[in-house]
Amino acid sequence: MDTNSRDTNRGDTNRSDANRGDTNRNDTNRGDTNLGEASHGDTKRSNADSGRSSSSTATSATNSTDTTNNANTTNTSATPDYRLDPARLPTVGQRLALRVLHFFGWQMHFRPLPGPRGIVVVYPHTSNWDFVIGLVAKWAMNLPYRWLAKDSMFRMPVLGSWFRWLGGQPVDRSAPQGMIRAQAERMHAASWYWLVITPEGTRGYRPNWKSGFYHLALEARVPLVLVSLDYPNKVLDFTQHLWLTGDREQDLAAIRAAYAGRMGKHPENAAPIELGERRREPRQEP
């Protein structure tokens, strides 16, 4: 009888241990559920952020990366690293160009372009060295960017051909009528067309930006890549993307945020980020 009682007690003890094990498993499952809920909450916040400008899209992507890192501890990097590494570039020419930038102390940050067409806005543009650095960066990326210049530059026998080889496109400034519309049509006629514009239009100081890039982006419905030349830190940054809303003040606020803290070689020559008034183009009869 005592033996049976002891066996019964041992059975109760085993059942109690099993119950405790089930309780522990339930606690673990609740912990997994809480982690899942936290991740779901982060995902909602990330999705809410995704409707904003492209520059805030970069922040949303960072939040999404943080959520993934909380759930999977194998990835320890909290933010994307957009620094270009010569060893990972596919051609000898690209690797050589990037090593030239590195030799002079420059780092290049590049985020994949947001589509086959768009406008690269370069700011601040305060020195002739900006063109040299940008040209070497173009070779490092191996992308056929276009840029606009007055047509007289392309009439010179040797330099004109060289400018075209570099991606230059002549513009007849004596006939500005319909220029924005014609340029938008030219962009959409090509399978890949990214246009580089310096909205200051000069290396010297001016009180505002020229607004042509803004109207072109809205007319062509293409995104901006806001490229900065930060001389104090020697960083050439291609990571800030922006889709314009058409609300000028909202768009300018996003542009200012993307360029905050970036300084050119001659900071005193950098134009304030304000759009100058653009001359209205006369309506063309169909």
43 and 96 belong to one structural domain? no
133 with 60, same domain: the answer is: no
pLDDT of 221 > 90? The answer is yes
Band the pLDDT of 51: cuts 50, 70, 90: very low
- Are 124 and 260 members of one domain? yes
Per cent of the chain over pLDDT 90 is 60
> If you average pLDDT over residues 87-97, what whole number do you get?
97
Q: Check whether 19 has a pLDDT greater than 60.
A: no
Cα atoms in the 13 Å half-sphere on the side-chain side of 149:
15
Buried b (16+ CB within 10 A) or exposed e, 48-86: ebeeebbbbbbebbebbbebeeeeeeeeeeeeeeeebee
Whether residues 156 and 239 share a domain: the answer is: yes
Question: What residue numbers bound the domain in which 187 lies?
Answer: 86-269
In terms of Cβ atoms closer than 10 Å to its own Cβ (0-12, 13-18, 19+), residue 238 is buried
Position 44 pLDDT exceeds 80 = no
69 or 94: which leads in pLDDT: 94
Q: Are residues 50 and 153 in the same domain?
A: no
The total domain count for the chain is 2
Indicate the pLDDT class of residue 279, thresholds 50, 70 and 90: low
Residue 79 lies in a domain: no
Residues 156-163 have a mean pLDDT of 90
Residue 206 forms part of a structural domain: yes
Asked if residue 213 and residue 94 are part of one domain, the reply reads yes
pLDDT at 15 over 70: no
Q: Is the pLDDT of residue 77 over 80?
A: no
Chain segment 195-204, per-residue pLDDT in tens: 999 999 899 9
In this prediction, residues 90-95 reach a mean pLDDT of 98
pLDDT at 278: 65
Return the axis-axis angle of helices 248-259 and 54-71, rounded to nearest 10°.
60
Closest to 243 in 3D by CA, of 88, 115, 79, 89: 115
**One domain, residues 140 and 252:** yes
**Does one domain contain both 57 and 123?**
no
Confidence bin at 172 (pLDDT 50/70/90):
confident
Q: What is the pLDDT of residues 113-126, one digit of tens each?
A: 999 999 999 999 99
| Residue 170 backbone dihedrals phi, psi, to 5 degrees | -70, 145
Mean pLDDT across 16-39:
38
pLDDT digits (tens, 9 = 90+) for 229-260: 999 999 999 999 999 999 999 999 999 999 99
Is 70 exceeded by the pLDDT of residue 131? yes
Q: Are residues 255 and 114 in the same domain?
A: yes
CB 93 within 8 A of CB 221: no
Looking at the fold, whether 131 and 14 belong to one and the same domain comes out as: no
Q: How confident is the model at residue 190 (pLDDT cuts 50, 70, 90)?
A: very high
What is residue 11's predicted lDDT score, i.e. its pLDDT? 44
Tell me how far apart the alpha carbons of residues 121 and 223 are, in angstroms, rounded to a whole number: 10
Greater confidence (279 vs 170) lies with 170
Mean pLDDT of 80-108: 97
Compute the distance between CA of residue 249 and CA of residue 275 in angstroms, rounded to an integer: 10
- Is 90 in the same domain as 135? yes
Residue 121, in any domain of the structure: yes
**Which one of 41, 71, 101 terminates a domain?**
71
Is residue 109 a contact partner of residue 83, using CB atoms and an 8 Å limit? yes
pTM: 0.69
